[in-house]
């Protein structure tokens, strides 16, 4: 087979590298969103506690 230099497409290695990079990026995004969600829940609980304490002190 003679190579004409006009071959197009991706090699298997290129596809695997792209999938690996994408998977790593998605994992990082998921961890960030998960951490933010947990922090938000903790903040909501703490805010409710402060609100309850403020009401009790004002009585």
What pLDDT, on a 0 to 100 scale, did the predictor assign at position 7?
Answer: 78
Distance CA 24, CA 2 (A): 38
Which tokens belong to 56?
Answer: 């009790």
- For 2-59, how does the pLDDT look when each residue is reduced to its tens digit (9 = 90+)? 666 777 899 999 999 999 999 999 999 999 999 999 999 999 999 999 999 999 999 8
In this prediction the pTM is 0.65
Give the model's pLDDT for residue 40: 98
């Amino acid at each position: 087979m003679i190579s004409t230099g006009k071959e197009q497409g991706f090699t298997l290695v290129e596809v695997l590298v792209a999938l690996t990079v994408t998977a790593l990026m998605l994992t990082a995004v998921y961890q960030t969103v998960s951490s933010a969600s947990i922090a938000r829940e903790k903040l909501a609980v703490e805010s409710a506690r402060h609100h309850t304490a403020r009401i009790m002190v004002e009585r």
